[in-house]
Structure 1
Amino acid sequence: MMLDCDVLIAGGGPTGVTLAILLAKRGISVIVLEKEADIYPLPRAAHIDHEGMRILQEAGAADDVMATSRRVTRYDFLNAKGDLLLRFTGSDRTGPGGWPAANMIHQPSVETALRRSLACETLATLHSRWELTSFQDESDFVTAQINTPDGDQTIRARYLVGADGARSPVRKMSGIHFDDLRFEEAWLVVDMLVDDYFRLPTANLQICNPERPTTCVLMGEGRHRWEFMIKPNETAEQVSDDAFIEKLMEPWDVKGAVRLERKAVYTFRARIAEHWRKGRVLLAGDAAHQTPPFAGQGMCSGLRDAANIAWKLAAVVKGEADPRLLDSYQKERAPHLRATIDMAIMMGRMVCTTSKWSAFMRDMKFKLGRMLGKLPDGPPAYPPIMEGAILAGSEGAGRYFPQLMSANGVRIDDILGNRHWLIERDRLTEPALAPFGHSLCEWLDAHNADAVLVRPDRYVFGTGSRDQLHAAWQKMTGTA
């Protein structure tokens, strides 16, 4: 049976296009289906972290994204009086991924950069106005029926990935249900074009006011966002009225400094799909999980999915790994997602308190914590991979491997490439490793290791001797 491609991706948003690029760069043929005619022109996601930027670096889009993104030094939680409850600092400093920790972005610009990069990949094709209507998992391949402007078509692929958003038809057709984590709040999102930056806040803000919980954050170049919690007695039509929005904006004193670009009512939810893989069908991005926006991890989570799936699918398609390797995808990503969502829910519940008494008790708690010096200066660290494609029990296994930079500004990923790395202490003087030798030696010393094997998604497979790591990697991929 002739196949049309190795991997068929439903959904041409950031997750789907990034996955397509990463697969194509590994020699895998990809077709991306996007039901819309063009990129959605208005902002949605507002933030990408350092790890997401590192993934975009591999996809060839990071520099373009950075050109229109903005940095912010802190993230403040204020009460109704404007008193500081909690402050996260250092978001403008370089994170372990080798890029600034927090980058405020304009999503259409991100998607444009990704599609430009995709167009350079001969093994990947994106079809706009093509919509998947049904599919069958036929054991050795997937047969998908597609509606196109030129009539119905059939595509056969080894694997199908549903990166088709929160309402994912692929998820629904697969009979996969959501695990509801019981957070649901309706908010009005207001995006503004900026004419005068000097009159706008320079920090990202959560206003924990029980009368009207509010978010105010930077976005990509030329834009700023406000989000207002909708009260139980208010309707979407009511809060979306321009006069209502103008009244909401009055306390910010920015009239004449900004112009309305977009208004939308969203229900912020926390949900995780019960299965992320079913036979030859996988889910990624919002199709697999949805998180409230308070931690800024929505797009980041989809990019991490793409990085995790890409190297595994490529290895399986090429016959370099047993298909059971794909079972590690959900095992590795779901705990990270739950931690991400838990953090977002914690922030959301702190912000969304509408009881004045509860808000008073919250304020007292944070005031005491500040006096005792027990408040964090940043969000809690995400958990390492505890189960999956790692050498469990070895020092550092499952942790994120930092992107090192040479003295002349060269990043290690650009030198060592997109495959797995086996880095040995006694080979640090070799030309490729020498510019990073000192930092690599420090990392090995800190983990009491002679060698480290770093996975293609830049998580540590394990540490130990070269032979031990080589044998364990072969066993894990099923090629021993």
Structure 2
Amino acid sequence: MIQGLHYPVAIVGAGPTGLTLANLLGVYGVACVILERNAATVHEPRAVSIDDESLRTMQAAGLVETVMSETVHGYGSHYYSARGRCFAKVQPTEQPYGFPRRNAFRQPVLEQQLNEGLKRFPHVTALFEHALVSFTQDDKQVTLRVKHGDTETDITADYLIACDGASSGVRRTLGIALGGSTFRERWLIVDLENSPVTSPHTKVFSNPARPCIALPGPHLTRRYEFLLHENERDEDMLAPDMIKHLMETHEAAPESRLVRKVVYTFHARLAERWSEGRVFLAGDAAHLTPPFAGQGMNSGVRDAFNIAWKLAAIVQGRLGPGLLDSYEPERRDHVWAMIEFAFNIGRVLSPANKLTAFAIEWGFRAMALFPKARDYIAQMKFKPPPRFSQGFLVADSGGARETLVGRMIPQPHIRMSDGKDVRLDDLLGQGFALLVTSPRAGEVVPRLQGEPWSDLDARIVVLGDAALPGTVAIPPSSFGGRLDAYNDHVLVLRPDRYVAACIKVDELAKRSTAIQKLIAGTFQAR
């Protein structure tokens, strides 16, 4: 037990959200402690899908190659009717954020990788078998009563981030309710090992008699999810003979080995508020998402990236504590969009009756006749893209559909002049970046040296063939036309790769006032 110490940030819960947050703070150089009541990270498989946005976060944490070494990259979903005919394929090949859009992984492996990653940082302390007993806060700090074995002691922190899951003790202590609903549907989850399959893609049995999802994973693992009917009892469906029957009728390899079976009732809920004073909720402590779109864990990872750079900027004095007021407004709407997205996916994979199943199947077949509609489905363009309409940003005159402000900047793979291939974020650095898209970069860059631009401590990146003093250059063709509408601009990029502002070069002087106001606003009292 470490006694009497003070940390800028304390994290409760060493699941994917908490461990990701701790790794990001480690990269940013922020001292923190992560408390976990259990003796180790999880052993049983839980989340099984990691998306391109989360892999981009792993890149920021310096662990993406490690994580990708244990994933199945770029899998899709093939939908089958009750007659066994494939009527839709969602198989995205595009990589707008630099990574495959859907990837299969094993949560125990990911958590081990993230936990090992913490050992890189002497300023990050991981305390397993340490339970948070209680906490109090005032306007200066949070005091945590922590129990290890039979010993209790106090530590203090500037901020407490609760990543302690769906039954969050921190959320209950704060008296914050979870709004939303609980699904009436129950699902039987079956995890297998040594279960070879002929295709790396998810197979969706869109059969009203027994809706089912079969998800292949790395190292011959496979997960099945079966919808249970109201008249079916949990104990009957968990019986060995029933499990065997379900596996035999849903194409599981005979040599498969059962490692877990459990019945879940899925939730769609949001915390009524995500913070109180110096205490913030993240991951399942703040929101619960149905699993049909594989976005539950990924939403928690997005929370971690959003709040990590803000905590770092505040602790290191670059921005003020009011910056944290943008955390919930930026994340809440997108979390709800992901919940609705999961609802819609659920309606397709579990039709209520034969008529609904028929309508879904032939609706998809009809769309496949039109290239744009077919591409919309196949490339997974129906997934709601992340976008902030409020928060730490400066709006421009572009409409909500057109503007880059509040959106994540694409991440192309870039061929450098020396022949090396790199991803954009590796050139942007860990903090803010100013991306100059102007052919007049030689005139623009000197104007970005003073305030308020220097307050962001930003790296200047120029779309050009040669670097100017104090800048990084990337080839003008790197974005493949995706930034054509923003030629002759300066794009203010946040550490989490969202665009905070898009400013015309000819308006730099005028718009610098808005940037100055944005920065100054964070120093106003919360």
Instruction: Pick the TM interval, shorter chain.
Output: over 0.9
CA distance in 1, matches of 2:510, 2:289: 39
Deviation per CA, 1:278-313: give whole Å up to 9, x if none. 111111111111111111111111111111001111
1:412 and 1:360, CA in 2 relative to 1: closer, same or farther beyond 3 A? closer
1:240 and 1:449, CA in 2 relative to 1: closer, same or farther beyond 3 A? farther
Give 1:21 deviation, angstroms.
Answer: 1.5
Q: Does 1:187 align with 2:187?
A: yes
Deviation per CA, 1:66-105: give whole Å up to 9, x if none. 1111124421222211233432122xx3522211111110
Gaps of at least 5 residues in structure 1 are none
Deviation per CA, 1:168-210: give whole Å up to 9, x if none. 1111111111121454421111111125x3x444321221111
1:279 corresponds in structure 2 to: 277
The amino acid of 1:47's aligned partner reads S
1:468 and 1:237, CA in 2 relative to 1: closer, same or farther beyond 3 A? farther
CA distance in 1, matches of 2:318, 2:472: 26
Is residue 330–residue 389 contact of structure 2 (8 Å, CA) maintained in 1?
yes
2:231 corresponds in structure 1 to: 233
Alignment of 1:44-83 (within 5 A): 44-83=46-85
Helix, strand or coil: the match of 1:433?
Answer: strand
1:3 and 1:280, CA in 2 relative to 1: closer, same or farther beyond 3 A? farther
Gaps of at least 5 residues in structure 2 are 398-402, 442-461
CA distance in 1, matches of 2:483, 2:248: 55
2:517 corresponds in structure 1 to: 475
Helix, strand or coil: the match of 1:127?
Answer: strand
Q: TM-score, normalised by structure 1?
A: 0.93
2:158 corresponds in structure 1 to: 158
Q: Does 1:387 align with 2:379?
A: no
Helix, strand or coil: the match of 1:202?
Answer: coil
1:120 and 1:184, CA in 2 relative to 1: closer, same or farther beyond 3 A? farther
Q: Does 1:310 align with 2:312?
A: no
Is residue 77–residue 207 contact of structure 1 (8 Å, CA) maintained in 2?
yes
CA distance in 2, matches of 1:68, 1:249: 25
Alignment of 1:287-306 (within 5 A): 287-306=285-304
Moved more, 81-90 or 159-168: 81-90
1:145 corresponds in structure 2 to: 145
Alignment of 1:282-431 (within 5 A): 282-371=280-369, 374=373, 376-377=376-377, 378=380, 379-393=382-396, 395-407=403-415, 408-424=420-436, 425=438, 426=441, 427-428=462-463, 429-430=466-467
Is residue 182–residue 265 contact of structure 2 (8 Å, CA) maintained in 1?
no
Is residue 79–residue 85 contact of structure 1 (8 Å, CA) maintained in 2?
yes
Is residue 59–residue 114 contact of structure 1 (8 Å, CA) maintained in 2?
no
The amino acid of 1:477's aligned partner reads I
CA distance in 2, matches of 1:446, 1:167: 46
CA distance in 1, matches of 2:144, 2:38: 18
The amino acid of 1:76's aligned partner reads H
Is residue 306–residue 496 contact of structure 2 (8 Å, CA) maintained in 1?
yes
Deviation per CA, 1:329-362: give whole Å up to 9, x if none. 1111111111111110011122233333433344
CA distance in 1, matches of 2:495, 2:6: 26
CA distance in 2, matches of 1:441, 1:352: 39
Helix, strand or coil: the match of 1:434?
Answer: strand
In the alignment of these two chains, the number of paired residues is 475
Q: TM-score, normalised by structure 2?
A: 0.85
Give 1:3 deviation, angstroms.
Answer: 5.8
1:65 and 1:292, CA in 2 relative to 1: closer, same or farther beyond 3 A? same
CA distance in 2, matches of 1:47, 1:357: 31
Is residue 209–residue 354 contact of structure 1 (8 Å, CA) maintained in 2?
no
Percentage of pairs with the same residue: 37
Moved more, 64-73 or 267-276: 64-73
Q: 1:455 aligns with which of 482, 491, 494?
A: 494
Deviation per CA, 1:232-274: give whole Å up to 9, x if none. 1222222222221001111234343421121122111111111
Is residue 187–residue 230 contact of structure 1 (8 Å, CA) maintained in 2?
yes
The amino acid of 2:489's aligned partner reads D
Deviation per CA, 1:110-136: give whole Å up to 9, x if none. 111111111111111110011112111
Helix, strand or coil: the match of 1:68?
Answer: coil
Is residue 405–residue 436 contact of structure 1 (8 Å, CA) maintained in 2?
no
Helix, strand or coil: the match of 1:264?
Answer: strand
Aligned-residue RMSD, C-alpha: 2.2
Give 1:440 deviation, angstroms.
Answer: 5.5
Helix, strand or coil: the match of 1:60?
Answer: coil
